[in-house]
Amino acid sequence: MNRIDQTFKEKKDVLNVYFTAGYPNLDDTIRIATVLEKAGADMLEIGMPFSDPVADGPTIQDSSQKALENGMTMVKLFKQLKTLRDHVSIPVLLMGYVNPIIQFGIDRFCDQCAEVGVDGVIIPDLPMQEYLEFYLGKFKSKGIHNVFLISPNTSEERIRLIDEESGGFIYVVSSSSITGAKKGIQEGQLAYYQRIQSMSLKNPQLIGFGISDKETFDTACTYSNGAIIGSAFIKQLDEDASEKGISDFIKTIK
């Protein structure tokens, strides 16, 4: 069984933490992943740096740019991840954009994901039809879940299609905006969460974008299987990327 499926089978209020590979330092990827699991994260989402991350706000954009300046590449990332499963047992997803994957080579990408123990991918700008035609078979043959995103503007018809074709979980984008830590949950967002919850989708759901503290995490968990924290954790790495700093941050959430 894929580690993502196993996690949702065994746990509630799943905390998925995003960080950018190669940030704040080039060789921090495995260290941060190891510390996050030890601190209590249930799932990891490792960002593949890209020069034009269209779904990301300034915080993650900046971390991506600095990681690229540090020398992070797809080749370097997979070299780092060769020791991933010596240190980390929880599910790991790679999050990034389709252009670098195409440049790297889709077959090569899938092979290396399987080799290092990546459980899933999140590719926000991968069109559904293109995925079904060119990627689905390759991902499935390697046991890699592909996670699609939905937003308040996503039609019920498309949500049902995504539920049918997704693997692992559905990424519920909390608002029609880019990533970024925001304070509190708006009333309109609760109605959206309730609408998704009432659809009784077969896949678990994690809420992301704007989840920044215990209040927003707990609220998200009320309406879903857990939540994703990204920008708020990147800001923590800006301030203190030590083991204690990371552990103390996770303890404020869970």
Backbone torsion region of residue 243, taken as left when φ is above 0, otherwise alpha when ψ lies between -120 and 50, otherwise beta? alpha
SS3 45: strand
Alpha helices, DSSP H, located in the chain: 3-10, 29-39, 58-70, 74-81, 84-87, 98-104, 106-116, 128-130, 136-141, 156-165, 187-198, 214-223, 231-239, 243-253
By CB neighbour count within 10 A (0-12 exposed, 13-18 middle, 19+ buried), where does 191 fall?
exposed
CA distances from 209 to 133, 154, 199, 248 (A): 29, 16, 21, 21
Show Cβ contacts of residue 225 under 8 Å, excluding neighbours closer than 6 positions: 8, 12, 13, 14, 169, 204, 205, 206
Nearest Cα neighbor of 51 from 39, 38, 68, 34 is 68
Q: Please indicate whether residue 133 is annotated as part of the active site.
A: no
Residue 119 among the catalytic residues: no
Of these residues, 45, 133, 187, 238, which one is catalytic?
45
From the candidates 5, 28, 37, 56, which is the catalytic residue?
A: 56
Catalytic positions, written as ranges: 45, 56
